[in-house]
Structure 1
Amino acid sequence: MTDASPAAPAAASVVVAGVHVDAFTEQTIVERVLRMASTEGVDVAVGVNAHVCNIARRDPRFRTLLDQSITYADGQSVVWGANILGGAIPERLATTDIAEPILRAAAAADLPVYFFGAADGIAEQAAARLREKIPGLRLKTQHGYVGADELPAVFDDIATHGTRILFVGMGDPAQRFWVDDHLDRLPPAVLTCGGLFDWLSGSNRRAPEWMIRGGLEWLWRLMIEPRRLAKRYLLGNPSFVAAVAMQKLRGSGA
Structure 2
Amino acid sequence: MRDPSAIPRYDVLGIPIAATSIPEIYAALLQWSRDQTGRFIAVREVASLMACRDDPDLRALHQRAALVIPDGMPLVWLGQKQGHKVARCAGPDLFDYVCRHSAQSGLRHYFFGGNEGVAATLAELCQARYPSIQIAGWECPPFRPMTATERSQTIARITQSGADIVWVGMSSPKQDVWMRDHVDALPQTLIGIGAAFDFHAGRVRRAPRWMQRSGLEWLLRLISEPRRLWRRYLILAPRFVWLVLLSGLKIYAKDDNAK
User: What TM-score comes out, normalization by structure 1 length?
Assistant: 0.89
Residue 64 of structure 1 and its aligned partner are, at CA, apart by 1.2
Deviation by residue 1:96-135 (Cα, 9 ceiling, x = unmatched): 1110111233332223210100111111111111111212
Runs of 4+ in 1 over 6 A off after TM superposition: none
Query: Is the counterpart of residue 76 in structure 1 residue 73 in structure 2?
Result: yes
| Alignment: residue pair count | 244
C-alpha separation between the residues in 2 aligned to 1:39 and 1:23? 24
CA contact (8 A) 1:42 1:189 kept: yes
Q: 1:21 to 1:87 in 2, by over 3 A?
A: farther
What SS does the aligned partner of 1:247 have?
A: helix
C-alpha separation between the residues in 2 aligned to 1:138 and 1:184? 24
Residue 167 of structure 1 and its aligned partner are, at CA, apart by 1.0
The structure that has the greater radius of gyration is 2
Residue 80 of structure 1 and its aligned partner are, at CA, apart by 2.0
C-alpha separation between the residues in 2 aligned to 1:60 and 1:9? 26
CA contact (8 A) 1:49 1:74 kept: yes
C-alpha separation between the residues in 2 aligned to 1:57 and 1:168? 21
C-alpha separation between the residues in 2 aligned to 1:136 and 1:53? 36
Q: More deviation in 228-237 or 179-188?
A: 179-188
CA contact (8 A) 1:207 1:220 kept: yes
Deviation by residue 1:216-238 (Cα, 9 ceiling, x = unmatched): 00001101111000000000111
Amino acid at match of 1:132: A
Residue 56 of structure 1 and its aligned partner are, at CA, apart by 2.2
CA contact (8 A) 2:38 2:185 kept: no
Amino acid at match of 2:76: V
Identical pairs, percent: 31
2:207 paired residue number: 207
1:125 paired residue number: 121
Deviation by residue 1:37-88 (Cα, 9 ceiling, x = unmatched): 222321211111111220222111111111221111111111123334x242
Query: Is the counterpart of residue 249 in structure 1 residue 249 in structure 2?
Result: yes
What SS does the aligned partner of 1:67 have?
A: coil
C-alpha separation between the residues in 1 aligned to 2:206 and 2:85? 23
C-alpha separation between the residues in 1 aligned to 2:103 and 2:157? 19
Residue 22 of structure 1 and its aligned partner are, at CA, apart by 0.7
Q: 1:83 to 1:217 in 2, by over 3 A?
A: same
Q: 1:213 to 1:183 in 2, by over 3 A?
A: closer
Alignment of 1:35-184 (within 5 A): 35-69=31-65, 70-84=67-81, 86-139=82-135, 140-145=137-142, 147-148=146-147, 149-184=149-184
CA RMSD of aligned residues (A): 1.8
Query: Is the counterpart of residue 30 in structure 1 residue 50 in structure 2?
Result: no
1:15 paired residue number: 11
Gapped regions of structure 2 (runs ≥ 5): 253-259
CA contact (8 A) 2:40 2:183 kept: no
CA contact (8 A) 1:81 1:244 kept: no
